Structure formats: C-alpha cells, structure tokens
Amino acid sequence: MAERLTARSARSQEIVEAARTLLEESGPAALTMRALADHLGIKAPSLYKHFPDKQAVEVELIAQMLAESAEAMEAAEAREPGSLPALAEAYRAYALAHPHLYCLATERPLPRASLPAGLEDRAAAPLMRACGGDLDLARATWAFAHGMVILEIHGRFPDDADLDAAWKRGTRALH
C-alpha cells in the first residue's frame, strides 16, 4: 500500500549503507541517529531531510535482509532442487553471517506496508516449494529454523551443545 515506488536518492542509499555497517559491526545499540550522522560527516538532524524517522532507515535494512536471504535460498534451491537440508543450511549460514541484521529484521512485527510488494512471499517461496506446497509443514519448518538460529545467536543453548546434530535431527524429522 504505502511502499515506495521510486528508488531512494544516492544520498539516501549512502545513509542506509552506513547504517548497515554500524549495525552489523557494532550491534543495534550503536545504530543511533547521531552515530549514523557522524559516520557520514553530517549532523543528526540532517538525516531527517532523507528519512522521516529512524524506523524508515531500519525498514530499508529489513528489506535488504529479506532480499538477500531470499537470494541465498534461491541459490540453494538451484544447487539442490527440492532439498530441505540445503535450504536449512543456507538459511542458517545467512543468518549467522549477519546476526544483528537478522535480529533487526525478525524480532518485531514486519512493517509490511512499507516493504516492496512481493518481497515477503519471495523469501518464503523456496521453502514452500521444498515442502511440496504443504503450508503447515512449511510453517513448522520455518519456525524450527528461526528458533534454531535465534537461540544460537542469543547464546541460549549450552556451550557444549552440538548444534549441527540438532539441525540434522530437526531437518530429518521435518524432512
């Protein structure tokens, strides 16, 4: 409904790039409007010439994460069509490579209205296909994968837990 139809300006893209660096390298607490402006050599209020608020910058990051993880899943699908373990491995690898971004995009309601149309569906499609269109299985599998990733990112498993084995056990059960 409210999603942008035009690309952002070059400056806006620079801002999003800087925001991403800040987030990925230093975590969510470091992503402040002042730090972001600093990184760009401007003052915080100037950011509001490009984005209405901080959330709008975050939405861009969320969209990036969704698009990139969709790409990762599509690549895995192309490599091993129909393989759930391949998808699971791709999902896990992408999330663990970008933990702060993954959390940002995942630990709050999706700002669906501000996202490019079809992006959410695209991200979900490969898993959907691997589950042969079984919606319930696809959702259960997504929940498993998300749970594994997010619990690992937050260090909730015991230090000595064999997470490879847990992933295998889960994907095998959900084949």
Partner DNA sequence: GACGTCAAGCTAACGCCGTTAGCCAGACTC
Partner DNA sequence: GAGTCTGGCTAACGGCGTTAGCTTGACGTC
27 binding DNA? (CB under 7 A): no
CA distance 78 to 66: 18
The binder of DNA chosen from 26, 27, 55, 156 (CB under 7 A): 55
155 sits in the region (left: phi over 0; alpha: psi -120 to 50; else beta) called left
104 binding DNA? (CB under 7 A): no
Beta carbon of residue 24, minimum distance to a copy of itself (angstroms, whole number): 18
**Helix%, strand%, coil% for the chain, nearest 5:** 75, 0, 25
Residues 6+ apart with CB under 8 A from 46: 37
The binder of DNA chosen from 42, 110, 140, 151 (CB under 7 A): 42
The site that binds DNA (CB under 7 A) totals a number of residues, namely 21
Contacted entry of DNA, a copy of itself, none for residue 128, CB cut-off 5 to 8 Å set by kind: none
Stretch that binds DNA, among 47-55, 105-113, 139-147, 153-161 (CB under 7 A): 47-55
Residues 6+ apart with CB under 8 A from 13: none
Q: Which two tokens stand for residue 43?
A: 């003052």
CA distance 173 to 64: 31
Residues 51-110 that bind a copy of itself (CB under 8 A): 103, 106-110
How does DSSP classify residue 4?
-
Sign of the Cα torsion 80, 84, 85, 86 reads positive
Beta carbon of residue 103, minimum distance to a copy of itself (angstroms, whole number): 8
Stretch that binds a copy of itself, among 29-37, 43-51, 89-97, 153-161 (CB under 8 A): 153-161
Interface residue list for DNA (CB under 7 A): 9, 11, 31-35, 37, 41-46, 48-50, 52-55
Interface residue list for a copy of itself (CB under 8 A): 103, 106-110, 134-137, 139-148, 150-151, 154-157, 161-163, 165-170, 173-175
